[in-house]
Structure 1
Amino acid sequence: MKRLSSNLTVQVLTAIGLGVLVGGLFPAFGAALKPLADTFISLIKMLIAPIIFLTVVLGIAGMGSLGKVGRVGGKALLYFEIVTTLALAIGIAVANLTQPGAGVQATAQAVLQDSKKTAEAAKFTTQASEMNWVEFFTHIVPDNVVGAFAKGDILQVLLFAVLFGLALNRLGEPAQPLVKTFDRLSHAMFGVLSLVMKLAPIGAFGGMAFTIGKYGLATLLPLGKLMLVVYLTMFLFIFVVLNLILRAYKLRLGPYLSFIKEEILLVLGTSSSESALPRMIDKLERYGCSRSVAGLVIPTGYSFNLDGTSIYLSIAVIFLAQAFNIPLSLTQQLSLIAILVVTSKGAAGVTGSGFIVLASTLAATKTIPVESVALLLGVDRFMSEARAITNVIGNGVATLVIAKSEGEFDEARHQLALQGRDVPEERRPEPVALLPRVEMPHEEEPNQD
């Protein structure tokens, strides 16, 4: 019994249950517990930038051939694009089949007349109008590296880490002392993470109590069909599409989900995929992936492989069209998929990105009024858990696929993980070994005569 009570999975599950009870029975008190979740997520966020930097640098420095770095990155981006496009197409197909927006026209009109909700929607409209691809790409390059770490901007930190890792890779043997120092720092950072994770039940309790206390289960009734469709679609995407992808690489979905159950529950309690990001890198490495692949694919996927968000956005757009009696032709729906492929990448790492992307998509199509997103404000929080969980699971699957395709998957380590045994030192990833130093050509000294 003592061992069971000390299990993190049991603790988080218990905390989520207590959070639902407190939020339901004492709504005001539950809503006031938001700082517990926010503080825990902040503790995780403070570790994301250094962990990503160290993991990516060590992974690239030890990858050997620079061509291999490019190959892994190219494979990852191609996989992300194919799978997220498939998720968008599935979402639109399911929305057309189930018609979740039918019968909510009265609710839709009432929401638009609510000045408070319309004002909130206008805020997202303003943010969406400011988003464009030029700003997105220029923003990836930090004007101050320290500032990128201070702000916790994942894409900026990732870019700097890739460049730094490439530089160490080219230096070869002279960089070995620095690489060993980074390796020790990486272990220390994951040690800090293990301490922070002891507070996970408190964060999950606060997050769930806030959600139920502030929004209440009653808010789900008018849009219950939409929520059901979104949850079922994500369930089918995970257990059909992702399952088939894993089977194609001789892996099974069930053991994988069981291995990351703590991260799934953590995301469920906090409604934030960020809370699981650092742990997923460590978990996938223990599951058999090489450090170099896990360290490169997970952070990149966090920004570009948002399967859950893609499904939600495609269903939400069709739902709003149905709710406001706006018929969409096949051509218009195909155009929506094309636009969502672009806009779903444009709000990576932005708070409230789901709404911002949705508003920017509606603004681009000019078919559905942007203010219509106000209809989703009441239930968005309840769907954010499903989005975040699907994103986390999908990124793990992507990492497994890339590791398998690159021959960077340790089957012996994988079997130990499935048995729930600690990986012995001899089966852990080898210390980073750099290529021999590559001498750079020197320019001839100018003639002093």
Structure 2
Amino acid sequence: MKRIFTNLTFWVLTAITAGALLGHFAPEIAVKMQVLGKGFIEVVKVFIYPIIFLTITLGISGMSQLKTVGKVGGKAILYFEVVTTIALVIGVIVANIIRPGSGVHATQVDSADISKYAGQASEFTWWQFFKGNHTILVLLVAIICGIVLSKWKNREVVIQPLTLLSKYVFKALRWVMLFAPLGAFGGMAYTIGKYGLHTLLPLGKLMLTVYTTMALFIFIVLKLLLQYYRVRLWDFLKYIREELLIVLGTSSSEAALPSLMEKLERMGCSKPVVGLVVPAGYSFNLDGTTIYLSMTTIFLAQVYHVHLSLEQILTVIAVLMVTSKGAAGVTGSGFVVLASTLSAIKVIPLEGLALLLGVDRFMSEARALTNFIGNGVATIFLANNEKEFDRKKMAYAFKHLEETENVGTDNVQYKSQEKV
């Protein structure tokens, strides 16, 4: 019993349940709880850039790591493109088979909302994406610093303080994660209180289709990728279960991103691979967002009785292959990227976006979870491919799962702090 009450997973799950109940029975109070969810995410965001910088800089500071950087970077880009394309195709196929838009009638829409998203879509450029995407900028700076340090004879003068700083940053992060239940409670209470469960009914078929498709993608495509290197998907999901619950409660993969990087390193992925793949994947390997975009595009075509020929469907896939890569760099990314896609295709009314406003928040959990798991799988796959994966660490992490998952236990010695 004592172990249950000191387990972070138990408290996060309890907080999500309590938040949902409060949102349903006292929506006015629940909406005010948004400050807890947003506050927790903002605090965790403070750790993202330092962790990315420290992880990748320390990881490639040795001469032996320089070749790894180029190889991993190239393979990561290829991996992201192949896997997200598979996700796109799966989304299009399932949406055409189940046809979630059949029987749904377009209602009067709020032109102000649509104008806002259309305006953001028309203003979007790739220069804006890279300029506004601080994750990519920090990653590039860290790579440069790592290369410079690797060439410097007296690099230990800098590496030792950075290693010590890294240790304290991760220690501070573990203390912050103790407040994860509050963040999960606030996020779930706000979602249910603001939109209500009744908003799910009209578009329930679409939601069920999206959730089912993402589950199939995780347990078939991602499972096969891990299985290729003899890593069990279920063991990995259990290993990151607390992070998954935090993502579910807050609807944000950012809330657990630093913790994911730490755990991937602790389970055997080398520091350079983690530092390169996770931040880059956060911008370019959004499997869940990709599935959502492809399915909602087909859904809106069905709602407005727009018959898409095979050529037009291939055009949708081609456009989404480009537009979906900018999803992490703009505010309200799902709608903005979807608006830009519909504008490019020019056959589906842009007003259809209003149909998705009520349920988008509920589907964002599925997007965030799929993106989060997808980036973890990508890191493990590429680490194994580069022979930068320690299976002994993985066995230790999975075997002592109960011990290592207890974030609040100070005497657990994390191997992720060791110099790679």
Whether TM-score is above 0.5 comes out as yes
Which one-letter code corresponds to 2:73 in the other structure? G
Equivalent residue, structure 1, for 2:407: none
Q: Within the alignment, does 1:431 sit opposite 2:411 as a pair?
A: no
Q: State how 1:208-227 maps to structure 2 within 5 Å.
A: 208-227=188-207
Distance (whole Å) between structure 2 residues aligned to residue 162 and residue 320 of structure 1: 42
Which residues of 2 match residues 271-420 of structure 1 at below 5 A? Answer: 271-420=251-400
1:407 counterpart SS class: coil
Residue 75 and residue 255 in structure 1: after superposition, are their counterparts in 2 closer, same or farther (change >3 A)?
same
Aligned residues: 412
The answer to whether the 8 Å contact 2:266/2:415 transfers is no
Displacement, 1:431?
2.1
Q: Deviations over 1:51-96 (max 9, x none)?
A: 1111111112136242221001111111011000100000000000
Distance 1:37 1:338 in 2: 36
CA contact (8 A) 1:80 1:301 kept: yes
| Residue in 2 that maps onto 1:166 | 147
**For the Cα contact (< 8 Å) 1:413–1:428, is it kept in 2?**
no
Determine helix, strand or coil for the equivalent of 2:237: helix
Q: For 1:14-413, list aligned pairs within 5 A.
A: 14-62=14-62, 64-105=64-105, 108=106, 110=107, 113-114=108-109, 117-137=110-130, 139=131, 153-171=134-152, 173-413=153-393
Q: Which amino acid aligns with 2:148?
A: A
CA contact (8 A) 2:22 2:30 kept: yes
Q: CA deviation at 1:219?
A: 0.3
- 3-state SS of 2:155 partner: helix
Shift of 1:135: 3.7
CA distance in 2, matches of 1:336, 1:409: 37
Q: Distance in 1 between matches of 2:398 and 2:26?
A: 41
Quick one: distance in 2 between partners of 1:209 and 1:263?
Answer: 18
Contact residue 267 and residue 276 of structure 1 kept, 8 A:
yes
Where 2:64 maps in the other structure, the secondary structure is: coil
Kept in 1, the 8 Å contact 2:324–2:337? The answer is yes
- Give the TM-score normalised by the residue count of structure 2: 0.95
Unaligned runs of 5+ in 1: 141-151, 433-449
Once the two structures are superposed, what CA deviation does each residue of 1:167-187 show, in whole Å capped at 9, x if it has no partner?
11222x311220111111111
Counterpart Cα distance in 2 of 1:299 and 1:184: 22
Secondary structure of 2:325's aligned partner? coil
1:122 Cα deviation after fit: 1.4
Q: Indicate the RMSD between aligned Cα atoms, in angstroms.
A: 1.6
Distance apart, 1:213 and its partner CA: 0.4
The DSSP-based 3-state class of the residue aligned with 2:154 is: helix
CA distance in 2, matches of 1:286, 1:334: 41
1:426 deviates by 10
What amino acid does structure 2 have at the position aligned with 1:431?
A: K
Q: Secondary structure at the match of 1:57?
A: helix
Aligned mates of 1:94, 1:296 — CA distance in 2 = 32
Report the CA distance shift for 1:167/1:97 in structure 2 as closer, same or farther (over 3 A): same
Q: Is the 8 A contact 2:226 2:233 kept in 1?
A: yes
Report the TM-score, using the length of structure 1 for normalisation.
0.89
Question: For the residues of structure 2 that align with 1:367 and 1:8, how far apart are their CA atoms?
Answer: 49
CA distance in 1, matches of 2:238, 2:207: 25
Q: Match of 1:30, as an amino acid?
A: A
Give 1:346 shift.
Answer: 1.6
1: CA distance, partners of 2:319 / 2:313: 10
Runs (4 or more) in structure 1 with deviation over 4 Å come to: 421-430
Tell me if the contact between 2:59 and 2:65 (Cα under 8 Å) persists in the aligned partners: no
In structure 2, runs of 5+ residues without a counterpart are 405-411
The answer to which of 91-100 and 56-65 deviates more is 56-65
Distance 1:65 1:191, change over 3 A: closer
Structure with the greater alpha carbon radius of gyration: 1
* In structure 2, distance between residues paired with 1:157 and 1:428: 21
Tell me by how many angstroms 1:153 deviates. 1.9
Task: Tell me the distance in 2 between the aligned counterparts of 1:170 and 1:210.
Answer: 51
Quickly say closer, same or farther: Cα 1:429–1:37, change in 2 above 3 A.
Answer: closer
Q: Could you tell me whether the CA contact under 8 Å between 1:288 and 1:414 is conserved in 2?
A: yes
Question: 1:428 Cα shift?
Answer: 5.7
